[in-house]
Amino acid sequence: MSWDKYNEARKKAKQAQSKLDKASDTVDKLTGKSSKKLTKSEINQAKTAAKNAKSNKWLFAIWAIITIAALVSLLFTSTIEPVVNNWIYGDRSTTTAGDDRGAVGSFADVVTNSDLKIHYVFVGQGDCILIDLPDGKNVIIDSGSETYNSETSQKVISYIDTYLLDDGEIIDYMILTHPDSDHLFYLPDILDTYEVANIYRPYTFFVSDGKDSNQRLDPDGTIATAEEQAAVEAKEREAVAELNSEYGYGIEIGDPTKNTTNAKSTDIMYKFISRIYTETYGEDNTPAEIHYSIAGATISGTDYTFTFYAPVNPSEVYGSWNNYSSVIVLDYNDTKIAFTGDAEKEAENEILANQTNLPLPDVDIMDMGHHGSRTSSQDAFVKALKPEYAIISCGIDNKYGHPNQETIDTLYNNGVDSSHIFITAQSGDIVIGFGYTGTISTDTSTDNTEIDTSGTTDDSADTDTSGTNTNENTETTTTENTNIITSTNIESEILLDVDQTPTTLDYIIAYTGEASVVAPTTTEPIEIKWWYIVVGIIVISGVVLLIIAPSIVKSLKKKK
C-alpha cells in the first residue's frame, strides 16, 4: 500500500470513529448513562427520529393493506380491465347489426313506397347524389368522375329519367359542392339535357387563360374563343363585385395558374359557368337563380330542411379547392343525413369552431368527405356528427387508395360497426327510402339480402364497371340482385311475416351490388392488463418500504 492511500484510510477511520463516538454519546445521554445534559438540538433530533419511526410503522401497515387489496382485486380482473382500458383509450364499443336475415322487396319497391329518396349513383371515382323530395321537388348534388366518360354521363342521364324526373319536370335544385372535375364533369351535360331552376355554386370563379381549347364548348357546341371565355370571366368579376357589395366579403380573384386562389381556368369549369349564366326554365324561359353556398343557408319544404354548414368563411383563400366544399345536413322528420363534399380538416375545423352559431346535429348517415380520404373526416368531426352508418363514394381500385384505412378506423372508433360502412366501388348505386310503407317478406330462400332492425341503416347498389346503365339494364339490375337494410326508431312499427304484412319504417336502404367488405385495423392498442398494475403497486410500495425499513428497525430496537 502506498503512503498516500495509507493516510487516506487513516483519515476515513478517524471520521468514522468520530461519528461513532458522537452517536454513542447521544445514546448515553438518552439512556441516562452520561452525566452530560442533552442540548436543545439533540432533543429536537431525538423527537423527530421518534416521530418518523412511529409514522414509518403506519406506512408499513398501509403498504401491507394496499398489497393485500391489490392481490384480492385480481379476483375481479374481468370487470376492472375494461374500465381501465376505456379510461385510457376511450370507449371503443361499437354498434352491432341485427340478426334477422331474409328476402325483401326490390330496389324499385323502395323507390315506389318511400316518401323521400336519396340515390348515391356509382360514377367511378367521383360523387353523384340525386334526391327525390316528398313535395315533388328534387335536388342534384354534384355529378362527376375523375375522367370524363360519355357512357357514364349517359348512365347518369338515364338514372335521372328513371328515378328522379317525370316527363316535363325540371330540376329544382342543382348544388355543386366545389369545382373539382370528379364532382363537376357531368353537370354541364345535365344542364344541356334538363331545365334547372336553382343553382348553388361555390365561391370559386372561372378566369380565362386567354387561350382557345378544343374542350371549352359554348352551350351550342362550338369551340369557345378567347373572347367568349373573357366574356364569361367578366360576368364572374361582376358577380364578385356584387357579393363584396352585399356581404362585404372582400373577395379577390387571383392568378388562375396557382392553386392558392379561388380562380380556375379549367375546361370543365368554363363549361359549367358558361351554362349557368344562360340557363332558363319553364314556358316563360325564366332565368335560373344562382345562389352561393354559405353556412346558415337553408332549403325547406314538406317535412324536410337542408342546412348549409360550410363554407363558414366564403371569402377565405384556401390552399386546397376541397375546402370550398359545401357541407349540408338534410333533416327529414328528425332523420338526418350529412353531405360533406370534399371538405378537408381545415374546413371541418371551421365548422366545429362555428358551433356556437350553428351547432352540428347528430346524424344517422354520413356521406364521408373526399371519398374516404385521410385528409377529411377527422376524429373530432365524426365525433361531433355521431353517425351510425357511413357511405363512401369512390372508384374501383382507384389510384388514391380510397377509402383510407385511417378513415375506416375513425368510424370504427366512433361506434360505427364495420358492417355499417358501405362503399360504392363494392356496392354500386345506393337508394335510401325515407317514410317507407311497403311489404317485406321473411322468406329466406333469396340470397344476398339483409334486414337490420338495430336502429339505423345503410346500404349500397350495383357496380357497373363499364360505366353504362340504360333505363332497361338499370331496372333489371336493381330487381334481380338487391340488398336491403331497414331502420327504425322507437316511434316506428315493424311487422315482418310471410304474408307480406304492411311495414312502416323511418328509412330503408337498398343496394344492388355486394355488401362492402371493410374492417378496422387489426393492430389494436396495447391492452392494459390489470395484473400489470397490481404488480406495479406491490413493487413500488416494496421499494418505498426498503427505503424506510432502516428507520423502522432502529425505532424498534430503541423501544426494546
Rg (CA), the chain: 36
Domain boundary among 262, 291, 320: 291
Q: In terms of domains, do 555 and 467 share one?
A: no
Q: In terms of domains, do 351 and 469 share one?
A: yes
Q: In terms of domains, do 433 and 379 share one?
A: yes
3 state SS of 158: helix
Choice between 391 and 106, residue whose per-residue pLDDT is larger: 391
Q: In terms of domains, do 163 and 245 share one?
A: no
Q: In terms of domains, do 115 and 24 share one?
A: no
In this structure, what C-alpha cell is assigned to residue 73?
Answer: 382485486
CA torsion 409-412-414-416 (nearest 10°) is: 140
Within a domain: 520: no
Q: Which domain holds residue 421?
A: 107-203+293-511
Q: Please state, in angstroms and rounded to a whole number, the distance separating the CA atoms of residues 384 and 345.
A: 13
Q: Please state, in angstroms and rounded to a whole number, the distance separating the CA atoms of residues 347 and 340.
A: 10
Counting residues of the chain whose pLDDT is more than 90, the rounded percentage is: 46
Segment of 44-48, 413-417, 478-482 carrying the highest mean pLDDT: 413-417
pLDDT, tens digit, for every residue of 145-191?
Answer: 999 999 999 999 999 999 999 878 999 999 999 999 999 999 999 99
pLDDT, tens digit, for every residue of 481-501?
Answer: 445 555 443 233 333 334 456
If one counts the domains in the chain, the total is 3
Within a domain: 64: yes
Q: Is 175 within 8 Å of 197 (Cβ atoms)?
A: no
Q: In terms of domains, do 494 and 548 share one?
A: no
Q: Quick check: 117 pLDDT over 50?
A: yes
Within a domain: 519: no
Q: Is 382 within 8 Å of 411 (Cβ atoms)?
A: yes
Q: In terms of domains, do 219 and 75 share one?
A: no
Q: In terms of domains, do 313 and 364 share one?
A: yes
Instruction: Give the β-pairing of 365-367 and 335-339.
Output: parallel
Helix spans in 126-210 (H)? 150-163, 181-184, 187-193
Q: In terms of domains, do 323 and 310 share one?
A: yes
Instruction: Give the β-pairing of 304-310 and 298-301.
Output: antiparallel
Q: Which of 129, 277, 137, 146 is nearest to 201 (CA)?
A: 277
Q: Is 314 within 8 Å of 203 (Cβ atoms)?
A: yes
Within a domain: 479: yes
Q: Please state, in angstroms and rounded to a whole number, the distance separating the CA atoms of residues 212 and 228.
A: 9
Q: Quick check: 42 pLDDT over 80?
A: no
**For 90, left (φ over 0), alpha (ψ -120 to 50), or beta?**
left
Q: Please state, in angstroms and rounded to a whole number, the distance separating the CA atoms of residues 129 and 483.
A: 19
Q: Which of 310, 362, 369, 355 is nearest to 336 (CA)?
A: 362
Confidence at 75, pLDDT banded by 50, 70, 90: confident
Within a domain: 96: no
Q: In terms of domains, do 127 and 256 share one?
A: no
* C-alpha dist (Å) from residue 74 to 81, 83, 529: 10, 14, 10
Q: In terms of domains, do 186 and 214 share one?
A: no
pLDDT, tens digit, for every residue of 323-373?
Answer: 999 999 999 999 999 999 999 999 999 999 999 999 999 999 999 999 999
What average pLDDT is seen over the chain?
A: 79
CA triplet 243, 248, 254: central angle to 5 degrees? 65
Within a domain: 101: no
* Domain CATH for 478: 3.60.15.10
- Could you write out the DSSP letters of every residue in 91-132? --------S-------HHHHHHT-SEEEEE---SSS-EEEEE
Q: Please state, in angstroms and rounded to a whole number, the distance separating the CA atoms of residues 458 and 480.
A: 19
Q: Which of 100, 111, 124 is nearest to 163 (CA)?
A: 111
Within a domain: 366: yes
In this structure, what C-alpha cell is assigned to residue 5?
Answer: 492511500
Q: Please state, in angstroms and rounded to a whole number, the distance separating the CA atoms of residues 468 and 477.
A: 12
Within a domain: 99: no
Domain boundary among 291, 325, 351: 291
Question: What is the model's pLDDT at position 1?
Answer: 55
pLDDT, mean of residues 203-211: 87
Q: In terms of domains, do 389 and 466 share one?
A: yes
pLDDT, tens digit, for every residue of 43-52?
Answer: 666 666 655 5
Domain boundary among 264, 291, 318: 291
